[in-house]
Amino acid sequence: MYNAETVDETDRQDILASLGGDEAAFARLIERYESAVASLAWRFAREPAAREELVQDVFVEVYFSLDGYRGNAPFGHWLRRIATRVGYRFWKRRSRASREVPLADLDPPAAPGEMDPSAAGAAVHALLSHLPLPERLVLTLMYFEDCSVSEIADRMGWTRAMVKMRAYRARRRLKAVAQREHLLERLGWTS
């Protein structure tokens, strides 16, 4: 049923068992992939409760779509595609209530180069939140998932040309936002 070269044997067994209604097998799949999904979900929701719910959303959707998995690509790839789409839907729901994160809330680093990774994560999140959602998604996947143009196109069902255009516009817009918000001065990286 699944391509043995692409699908890990342990995954294959647990997928088949899950399809047969074995909850323990599905729990094992969750356990193996939870950290990857949670890491991606953090890029969509930085509030722990929202992120936890997002991770659950992903696995619930994975469970109910499991019989659509053909095994042509590793299970992790297929799962990340679902996670990306679930995260994107989360943004769309939130964007109705305008979820731009103000940069003014950022804590400036004590000294240049001494920025805390968590503060850097918050800064990136805040800056990207000023972009339109498709552009924000493209840069998020490029920055944090090391996705190529083709991979993003594949995950979202967009054309490569569309992804390239969105990446170009996103960078241009991001630069304008960073200038407007005096990012370099705030970070003390002006030299």
Partner 1 sequence: MDELKAMENLVRLARQERLPATDAASGAIERIRAGAVRPVRVLPLSVLAAAAAVAAAVVMVLAIHAWTAPADPQTALFPIVEVASL
The yes or no reply on residue 141 touching partner 1 (CB under 8 A) is: no
Give me the count of residues in the chain.
Answer: 191
Which listed residue (85, 121, 154, 169) binds partner 1 by CB under 8 A? 121
Is residue 15 a contact partner of residue 29, using CB atoms and an 8 Å limit? Answer: yes
∠ CA 167-139-8, rounded to 5°:
115
**Contact call for residue 93 and partner 1 (CB under 8 A):** no
| Tokens at 33, concatenated | 């992939």
Instruction: Give me the 46-65 binding string for partner 1, x by CB under 8 A, dash otherwise.
Output: --x--xx--xx--xx--xx-
Nearer to partner 1, 143 or 159 (CB): 143
Residue 18 in contact with residue 63, Cβ under 8 Å? yes
Contacts with 154 (C-beta within 8 Å, 6 or more apart), sequence order: 81
Q: Which helix (H) or strand (E) holds 121?
A: helix 117-128
The reply to whether 167 sits near partner 1 by the rule CB under 8 A is no
- Nearer to partner 1 by Cβ, of 64 and 96: the residue is 64
Residue 26 engages partner 1 in binding (rule: CB under 8 A)? yes
Interatomic CA distance for residues 149 and 113, integer angstroms? 31
- Positions touching partner 1 (CB under 8 A) are 23, 26-27, 30-31, 34, 37-39, 41-42, 48, 51-52, 55-56, 59-60, 63-64, 67-68, 115, 117-118, 120-121, 123-124, 127, 143-144, 171, 174-175, 178-179, 183-184, 187, 189-191
